[in-house]
Amino acid sequence: MRQKVAVLGSTGSIGRQTLEVISALSDRFEVVSLAAGRNVDLLSSQIEAFRPRLVAVADEEVAARLKSKVDDAVRVVWGRDGLVEAAIAGDPDVVVVAVVGSSGLQPTLAALAENKTVALANKETLVAGGELVSQVLAGGRGRLLPIDSEHSAIWQCLQGEASDRVAKVILTASGGPFRTASKDEMERARPADALQHPTWSMGGKITVDSATMMNKGLEVIEAHWLFGIGYDQIQVIVHPQSIIHSMVEFQDGSLKAQLGAPDMRVPIQYALCYPDRPPVAWKRLSLLDLATLTFEPPDLERFPCLALAYRAGREGGTAPAALNAANEVAVEAFLTERIGFGDIARCVESVLEAHTVTSAENLDSIVEADAWARQEAWEWIRRR
Ligand SMILES: NC(=O)c1ccc[n+]([C@@H]2O[C@H](COP(=O)([O-])OP(=O)(O)OC[C@H]3O[C@@H](n4cnc5c(N)ncnc54)[C@H](OP(=O)(O)O)[C@@H]3O)[C@@H](O)[C@H]2O)c1
């Protein structure tokens, strides 16, 4: 029998690649629901190709536009409740959470509460709600499998290893488009410059996060919750070629690394098929074609967002939720040219400074911290 899959964020970079993987493995998987924001044209062609029973979109106006394009057999829902419904309706075996931003948290919690397997691309979920997600996981039979390539690499390196053998995990970072840029060049950077990622093709928000290295900071917090590892045992190393996706160092000094072409379909397929590894049609990594693999330490002075994320992670409670929400607002303001590139870190730092950290053990406190930080960030932007 085929496994039923819900794909949340189906029109995005990860969502589209997830549907490619599902198409290639159509004897193993079927789509029961899709969720997206506003891209009605792409969503209606996905509905035609994959025949889901339920589709969720951002709001009622988008839902009306979609309904006029698809047949009545598809139920169209909207908003936050619609997104949650898409995560559980049709009893999916796997829920792929690939929406962008902290909107991934509630459908993830809902799916885990129903003991589903969640394949998680959306890193903001664990940044904002890692503590709560861990509680739900500990109290039920749901499973959380990473799609993010670095975390997939760590997960693969940890197969067959007891947790007390781990000395540290090493997250690799490409360094983004400004790896070798001066501080002045970075201050003057425009959205088009930040959106030029050297090795990965991704959605706009994560591409800007890669340029500030906030992406790596969010991944540090994500790794903390996924693998139950302390912040002192999580190291970031810049590896511009993005061939080693991450590493684990063990107590005996051995390092295990996972290597592959920079292609998100590989970790997506691993999460969907785990522990199987069916053959793929796409390009494989040829070691003989590689010139060199290089490594360097991150420059925390030019990339202060990485240090801010470590700080928020160590503070715990609602600090990471506030960091994440402020960053979402600042990235949006940068992309719409309301603030400069360097302002992203300054805005996030100002919000973190002003935030009163509380416990993040329930959804209300996370939602409240998220909303507070968004407002605080917009006020900072208005004062610029
Ligand atoms: N791209 C990568 O290679 C990559 C790698 C690792 C991790 N991730 C993580 O995966 C997540 C998705 O990244 P991405 O690059 O795929 O982003 P993306 O291309 O911007 O796609 C985001 C998706 O979320 C949907 N969405 C936005 N608002 C929504 C709402 N209110 N309700 C339902 N859906 C909504 C978008 O729909 P519309 O476009 O229809 O509005 C789109 O389908 C992020 O958390 C990112 O950090 C991405």
User: pLDDT tens digit string along 16-69?
Assistant: 999 999 999 999 999 999 999 999 999 999 999 999 999 999 999 999 999 999
The whole-angstrom separation of Cα 355 and Cα 325 is 12
> Does ligand 1 come within 6 angstroms of the Cβ of 123?
yes
Q: Model confidence at 199, in pLDDT bands (50, 70, 90)?
A: confident
Q: Model confidence at 200, in pLDDT bands (50, 70, 90)?
A: confident
The whole-angstrom separation of Cα 300 and Cα 382 is 27
Give the chain's radius of gyration (CA, Å). Answer: 20
Q: Give the Å distance between the CA of 104 and the centre of ligand 1.
A: 9
Please count the CA atoms within 13 angstroms of the CA of 176 that sit on its side-chain side: 24
Q: CB-based burial of residue 382 (10 Å sphere; 0-12 exposed, 13-18 middle, 19+ buried)?
A: exposed
Q: Mean pLDDT, to the nearest integer, of 178-199?
A: 95
Tell me the pLDDT of the chain averaged across its residues: 97
User: pLDDT tens digit string along 139-161?
Assistant: 999 999 999 999 999 999 999 99
Within 10 A of 293 (CB to CB), how many other CB atoms are there?
15
Q: Give the Å distance between the CA of 263 and the centre of ligand 1.
A: 16
Q: Model confidence at 93, in pLDDT bands (50, 70, 90)?
A: very high
Task: Kindly report the protein residue whose alpha carbon is nearest to atom 2 of ligand 1.
Answer: 202
Which residues are CB-neighbours of 47 under 8 A, at least 6 positions away?
34, 55, 70, 74
User: pLDDT tens digit string along 350-365?
Assistant: 999 999 999 998 999 9
Task: Kindly report the protein residue whose alpha carbon is nearest to atom 22 of ligand 1.
Answer: 12
Report the 3 state secondary structure along 33-62: EEECCCCHHHHHHHHHHHCCCEEEECCHHH
What is the fold of 3-147?
A: Rossmann fold (3.40.50)
Q: Mean pLDDT, to the nearest integer, of 247-276?
A: 97
The sheet that has 234-238: what strands, in order across it? 234-238, 166-173, 244-250, 255-259
**313-322: string of b/e by CB count within 10 Å (b at 16+)?**
beebbbbbbb
Going by their DSSP bridges, the two strands 244-250 and 166-173 should be labelled as: antiparallel
User: pLDDT tens digit string along 271-327?
Assistant: 999 999 999 988 899 998 888 999 999 999 999 999 999 999 999 999 999 999 999
Q: What is the pLDDT of residue 373?
A: 98
User: pLDDT tens digit string along 218-252?
Assistant: 999 999 999 999 999 999 999 999 999 999 999 99
Q: State the amino acid at position 239 in one-letter form.
A: H
Q: What is the pLDDT of residue 6?
A: 98
The whole-angstrom separation of Cα 69 and Cα 55 is 13
Q: Give the Å distance between the CA of 271 and the centre of ligand 1.
A: 17
> Does ligand 1 come within 6 angstroms of the Cβ of 121?
yes
The whole-angstrom separation of Cα 32 and Cα 271 is 18
Share of the chain above pLDDT 90, in %: 96
Q: Does domain 316-384 have CATH number 3.90.245.10?
A: no
Bridge partner list, 76 = 55
Q: Do residues 114 and 142 lie in contact, with contact meaning Cβ atoms separated by under 8 Å?
A: yes
Choose which residue among 17, 65, 206, 215 to substitute to test ligand 1 binding: the one with the highest number of ligand atoms within 8 A of its C-beta. 206
Domain boundaries, the chain: 3-147, 162-260+283-303, 316-384
Q: How far is CA 346 from CA 26, 210, 333, 380, in A?
A: 47, 17, 13, 9
Q: What is the pLDDT of residue 384?
A: 86
Q: What is the pLDDT of residue 254?
A: 98
Please count the CA atoms within 13 angstroms of the CA of 55 that sit on its side-chain side: 32
Q: Mean pLDDT, to the nearest integer, of 252-262?
A: 97
Q: What is the pLDDT of residue 363?
A: 96
The whole-angstrom separation of Cα 218 and Cα 303 is 13
Handedness of CA 180, 183, 184, 190 (dihedral sign): positive
The whole-angstrom separation of Cα 318 and Cα 373 is 10
Task: Kindly report the protein residue whose alpha carbon is nearest to atom 8 of ligand 1.
Answer: 121
Q: Mean pLDDT, to the nearest integer, of 100-108?
A: 96
> Does ligand 1 come within 6 angstroms of the Cβ of 92?
no
Q: Which of 129, 131, 130, 136 is nearest to 110 (CA)?
A: 136
> Does ligand 1 come within 6 angstroms of the Cβ of 172?
no
How does DSSP classify residue 222? H
Question: Does the pTM exceed 0.95?
Answer: yes
